[in-house]
């Protein structure tokens, strides 16, 4: 039965979200028991004899993406390539930038508030007295919305880890692991192999696993052997190389050469192409040459022209992401100065992030995120930058920092906005308002 018939506890999305934020005793609680129970009550999934779970009422192909960095870019690549082939696609990602419904997309467009609220009402009815986290509500809502639209493909981005993440209640037809690096150490630990074990928890027996992980982490191959999954590992089943101008991919049965570089991270794009091939969605060299330059995702090396400056927005907030960003910056041909605005969580490896970008950035502005208890203070962040020899100043918040950059930069300069989703979201909102005022 459609969830649209359920009466609703609240009438607006804002009310639903505010209630969810305080419903559960903690923001994060790993485990599939509670969310799986509610999913079964909603008729979204059935328990199989193996205790794995799958969609009950419809059978879209499911691709689940885990990884420290590059998950969102992989989902965006999958989504846009599938849409180019005429498939209907549901994509679930997190977090959002400007509006909650960005997390649940149908054919590249955010779900309507009304259908998300209806999904929340269905979840509320089915859960009875089961407590759910904010993320678990969102996961179940996405599955309910995708069921309503009867999509051909469901793309699920893991929120944290993989094995115990809420999206793992669904069996993936193809599992993708984009990268392994240190992040969320309070939850996942500081050992790469332990982190890899958690992320490899999305694999399923007799299903393909695409891994673009660069370093050796035995847990991925071990997990695939134990599960009976078919692993396609970078460096073994396939290779890809890039230069400043183009890239190539070679595997035993597939090769493309001299393709244009996408704006999204190449490992994520490669993983998307190979995952789709496992589901018999194939692309010729000519199709890839046409489609790859069009791939994009907000906040991932996103370029915006603003008042004569090139603004680059990137949510890089750990050393691996910062190193990748620095590599991309090194390929750019530019003559102006590079100014960086950073606001970041205090539990991140701030020193390593800044150090990775030092050769690329001439001027730093550290900003606070007022109201966010996890965020580093502008003064503390500036001191970290000074300790590394960086030219840095502090500003009380992101908007003040961006205005400072505009005032203290020149036409032709690059303004780099990094550190977290919160940081990028504030600047994106400011840029959107500026466009509206110019058009209005």
pLDDT digits (tens, 9 = 90+) for 151-196: 999 999 999 889 999 999 999 999 999 999 876 555 555 688 999 9
CA distance 16 to 21: 9
Quickly count: other Cβ atoms within 10 Å of residue 311's Cβ: 22
Query: Which structure tokens are listed for 211?
Result: 């891994």
Give me the pLDDT at residue 334, please: 78
What are the DSSP E strand ranges found in 101-254?
A: 104-106, 109-110, 153-157, 174-177, 208-211, 230-233, 238-242, 246-251
* Residue in the structure block whose two tokens are 């050769």: 359
252 pLDDT tier (thresholds 50, 70, 90): confident
Sorting pLDDT into bands at 50, 70 and 90, what band is 57? low
Domain ranges of the chain: 3-294, 302-439
- The pTM of the full predicted model, rounded to 2 decimals, is 0.91
Q: How confident is the model at residue 438 (pLDDT cuts 50, 70, 90)?
A: low
Residue in the structure block whose two tokens are 């530019």: 334
* Residue 198 φ/ψ region, left for φ over 0, alpha for ψ in the -120 to 50 degree band, beta for the rest: alpha
Fold: same for 3-294 and 302-439? no
pLDDT digits (tens, 9 = 90+) for 4-48: 444 578 999 999 999 999 887 666 677 899 999 999 999 998 755
pLDDT digits (tens, 9 = 90+) for 94-117: 999 999 999 999 999 999 999 999
Q: Please tell me whether the peptide bond between 95 and the residue prior to it is cis, using omega within 30 degrees of 0.
A: yes
Give me the architecture of the 302-439 domain, per CATH: Alpha-Beta Complex (3.90)
132 — pLDDT class (breaks 50, 70, 90): very high
CATH number 3.40.1190.10 is the correct assignment for the domain at 3-294? yes
């Amino acid at each position: 039965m459609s969830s649209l018939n359920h009466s609703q506890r609240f009438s607006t999305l804002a009310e639903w979200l505010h209630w969810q934020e305080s419903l559960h005793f903690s923001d994060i609680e790993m485990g599939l028991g509670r969310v799986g129970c509610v999913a079964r009550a909603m008729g979204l999934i059935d328990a199989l004899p193996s205790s794995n779970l799958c969609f009950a009422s419809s059978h879209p192909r499911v691709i689940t993406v885990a990884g420290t960095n590059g998950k969102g870019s992989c989902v965006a690549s999958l989504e846009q390539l599938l849409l180019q082939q005429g498939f209907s696609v549901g994509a679930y990602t997190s977090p959002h930038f400007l509006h909650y419904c960005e997390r649940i997309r149908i054919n590249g467009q955010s779900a309507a508030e009304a259908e998300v609220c209806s999904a929340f009402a269905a979840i509320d009815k089915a859960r009875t007295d089961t407590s759910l986290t904010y993320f678990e509500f969102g996961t179940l809502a996405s599955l309910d919305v995708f069921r309503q639209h009867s999509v051909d493909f469901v793309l699920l981005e893991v929120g944290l880890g993989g094995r115990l993440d809420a999206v793992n209640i669904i069996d993936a037809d193809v599992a993708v692991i984009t990268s392994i690096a240190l992040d969320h150490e309070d939850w996942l630990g500081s050992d790469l192999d332990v982190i890899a074990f958690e992320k490899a928890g999305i694999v399923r027996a007799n299903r393909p696993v695409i891994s673009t992980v660069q370093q050796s982490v035995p847990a991925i191959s071990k997990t695939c052997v134990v599960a009976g999954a078919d692993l396609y590992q970078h460096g073994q089943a396939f290779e890809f190389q890039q230069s400043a101008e183009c890239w190539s991919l070679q595997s035993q049965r597939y090769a493309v050469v001299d393709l244009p570089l996408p704006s999204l991270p190449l490992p994520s794009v490669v993983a998307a192409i190979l995952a789709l091939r496992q589901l018999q969605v194939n692309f010729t060299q000519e199709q890839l040459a046409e489609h790859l330059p069009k791939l994009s995702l907000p906040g991932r090396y996103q370029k915006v022209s603003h008042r004569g400056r090139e603004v680059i927005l990137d949510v890089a907030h750990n050393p691996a992401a910062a190193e990748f960003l620095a590599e991309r910056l090194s390929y750019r041909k530019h003559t102006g100065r590079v100014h960086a605005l950073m606001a970041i969580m205090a539990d991140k490896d701030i020193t390593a992030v800044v150090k990775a970008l030092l050769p690329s950035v001439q001027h730093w502005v550290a900003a606070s995120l007022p109201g966010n208890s996890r965020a580093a203070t502008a003064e503390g962040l500036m001191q970290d930058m000074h300790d590394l020899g960086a030219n840095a100043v502090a500003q009380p918040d992101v908007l003040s920092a961006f205005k400072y950059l505009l005032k203290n930069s020149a036409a032709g300069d690059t303004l780099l906005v990094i550190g977290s989703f919160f940081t990028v979201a504030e600047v994106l909102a400011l840029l959107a308002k500026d466009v509206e005022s110019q058009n209005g």
